Structure 1
Amino acid sequence: MRADVSKHVGAATVLALGLVCSTWLIKHTVIDVKAMERTVQVKGLAEQEVPADTVIWPVFYKDADNDLDVLIARVDKKNAAIRAFLVLQGFNGDEVSVTAPSIVDKFAQEYSQNERGFRYVAKAGITVFSRSPDKVRTALSQLSELAKQGIAITQDDYQNRVEYMFTGLNDIKPQMVQLATQKAREVALKFAKDSDSQLGKIKSARQGQFSIRDRDSNTPYIKVVRVVAGVEYYLSD
C-alpha cells in the first residue's frame, strides 16, 4: 500500500515539474516571438514622366441648313476637305476614320419649334487614332487652313477634346516597383537608425495601384506615372 502511495506521489511530482518546465518554456518562447515581431511599416514613392504614345483626335464640326439634302452634301464635301488636310499632315488611311454624322431635326422637337434658325443641325467629322502624338500637335497648329475653307473645328467641347494616352506601362513597371521599394528601404533604414535598431528582412510587401495623369493642363501629351510600394521590415536590437 505504501509502495502504491509513493508511486503515485512520485508520478504527481514528475507531472508538476513537467508543467512548470512547460510553462517556463512557453513563456520564454512567447517573449522571443514578440521580440522577433518588432517591425516597421514604410512606404516608397516612384514617379516618372513619360511622353504620350497614342492619341485620339476627334476632328469634328457643326453645320446647319433648312434643306437636308444640301446639308448632307456639304457635310460630305467638308469631310473630304478634312481628309485631304490630314493626308497633307502625314496621316495615313489606317489612322483616319469617318464618323457618321449626327443630324437633329429641330422641328421634330416640341421644345424648340418656336426657336428661330435652321431646321437641321449636323455634327460630323473624322476621328484620328494615331501612335504619333507629335503629328497631331503639328496638325492642331495648322487648323486655320480648314477655317479658310469654312470648316470650324470644335475644340472646346469635352467630347471633342484631344485625348493623349500612354500605353507602355508594362515596359516600365519593373524598374518603377524597384525604385519604390528602394525608397521604402531608405525610409526604414533611417527609422532603424533613429531608434537604435537594426533593419532586418522584409516581413511583407504590397504594391499599390499605378496611376497615370497629365503633368498639367497645358501639356496633356506629357504623362506622370506614379506607384507607391508598402513594405514591412523586421527590427532587432
Structure 2
Amino acid sequence: MENTKTSKSWVTALIIGLSIVASCCVIALGLSHFRSESVHTISATGSANVDFESDLIIWRGSFSAADYTSKAAYDKIKKDSAVVKNYLLANGITEDEIIFNSVDIWKTYRDIYDDNGNYIGREQDGYSLSQSVSVTSTDIDKVEKISRDISSLLETGVEFESQAPEYYYTGLDDLKLSLIEQATANARERIDIMAKNSGARVGKLRNSNLGVFQITATNSGTSSYSYDGAFDTTSRNKTASITVKLEYDLK
C-alpha cells in the first residue's frame, strides 16, 4: 500500500514538473517571437515634391441694384447683367466661359425716430437685389488682366465687386500618382541604404502609409502645410508634395 502511494506521488510530481517545463518553454518561445517581431524590422519615410503651374482660372464677381419696388430693382439688375456680359465678351471672354447665377432679392428697411430722436421702429423702404457671375477659362493671362482692370465696368454705373481669381490644375490626379511613385521609391532607397550599412538584408514589406497631399503656393514653405492636407487656390504657381512611410522585415 505504501509503495502504491509513493508511486502515485512520484507520478503526480513528474506531471507537475513536466507541466512547469512546458509552460516555461511556451513563454520563452512567445518572448523570443515578440523580440524577433519588434527588433527585426526597418522603416523609413520617403518624400517627393514638384513645382507646377495652374492651367485653369476661375474668377467670380457680383453686382447689386436697389429700388423702391421689386420690379424697378429687377429691371436695374437685368440691365446691369447685360452690361457685365457685354463687357466680358468685349474683352475676349466667350459665352461658354460665363455663368450667371440666380438673382437674390431681399427687402430693405430704415429706422424710424420720433421728434425727440427716440427710436420707435423700422419700416420697409425698398428692395435690394444681387447677382453673381463666374468666368472659367484656360486662358489665365486674359482673365487675370480683366480681373485687375474693371474700371471701365464701374464707370458704366454697375456696382460690381470683384473677387480674387482662383487657380486650379486639371492634371492633378496624374501628378499625384507620379508623386506617390517617387515618394515610395525614395523611402525604399533609404531603407536599402540603412540595411546595407548595418549588414542586414531587407525582407518582405510589413506596412505602408501614405501621407496627405500638400498643395501650396510655390516658395511658401512648410508653414502653409495643414494636418488634413493643404489645397491652395490663390496662387498660379504651386508646389505639390507627399510622403510615404514603408516598414520591412529584416533577414
What TM-score comes out, normalization by structure 2 length? Answer: 0.66
Q: Which residue of 2 aligns with 1:127?
A: 134
| Equivalenced residues, count | 212
Alpha carbons 1:166, 1:223 under 8 Å: kept: no
Alpha carbons 2:165, 2:234 under 8 Å: kept: no
Q: Which residue of 2 aligns with 1:87?
A: 89
The two structures, once aligned, show a CA RMSD in angstroms of 4.0
Alpha carbons 1:64, 1:71 under 8 Å: kept: yes
* Segment of structure 1 superposing worse, 226-235 or 201-210: 201-210
Q: Which residue of 1 aligns with 2:145?
A: 138
Do structure 1's residue 114 and structure 2's residue 122 form an aligned pair? yes
Q: Which residue of 2 aligns with 1:171?
A: 174
What TM-score comes out, normalization by structure 1 length? Answer: 0.69
Alpha-carbon distance between aligned partners in 1 of 2:37 and 2:132, rounded to the nearest angstrom: 69
Q: 1:115 Cα deviation (Å)?
A: 8.1
Alpha-carbon distance between aligned partners in 2 of 1:53 and 1:186, rounded to the nearest angstrom: 33
Change (3 A) 1:78 1:199: farther
Alpha carbons 1:197, 1:235 under 8 Å: kept: no
Alpha carbons 2:166, 2:233 under 8 Å: kept: no
Q: SS of the residue aligned with 2:167?
A: strand
Q: In structure 2, give the amino acid aligned to 1:227.
A: I
Q: 1:223 Cα deviation (Å)?
A: 2.9
Q: Which residue of 1 aligns with 2:99?
A: 97
Q: SS of the residue aligned with 1:135?
A: helix
Alpha-carbon distance between aligned partners in 2 of 1:199 and 1:64, rounded to the nearest angstrom: 77
Alpha-carbon distance between aligned partners in 2 of 1:63 and 1:141, rounded to the nearest angstrom: 23
Q: SS of the residue aligned with 1:69?
A: helix
Alpha carbons 2:166, 2:234 under 8 Å: kept: no
| Matching of residues 1-150 of structure 1 within 5 Å | 34=36, 38-107=40-109, 114=122, 119-150=126-157
Q: Which residue of 2 aligns with 1:7?
A: none
Q: In structure 2, give the amino acid aligned to 1:135.
A: K
Alpha-carbon distance between aligned partners in 1 of 2:59 and 2:234, rounded to the nearest angstrom: 15
Q: SS of the residue aligned with 1:100?
A: coil
Which structure is higher in RCO with an 8 Å CA cutoff and minimum separation 6?
1
Alpha carbons 1:36, 1:235 under 8 Å: kept: no
- Alignment deviations for residues 156-185 of structure 1 (CA, whole Å, 9 cap, x no partner): xxxx55332223222223321121123223
Alpha carbons 2:183, 2:243 under 8 Å: kept: yes
Match of 2:236 among 190, 214, 221: 221
Q: Which residue of 2 aligns with 1:207?
A: 210
Q: Which residue of 1 aligns with 2:114?
A: none
Q: In structure 2, give the amino acid aligned to 1:204.
A: N
Change (3 A) 1:199 1:79: farther
What percent of counterpart residues are identical? 23
Gap runs ≥5 in structure 2? 1-17, 112-120, 221-231
Q: SS of the residue aligned with 2:122?
A: coil
Q: In structure 1, give the amino acid aligned to 2:239.
A: V
* Segment of structure 1 superposing worse, 168-177 or 200-209: 200-209
Q: In structure 1, give the amino acid aligned to 2:180.
A: V
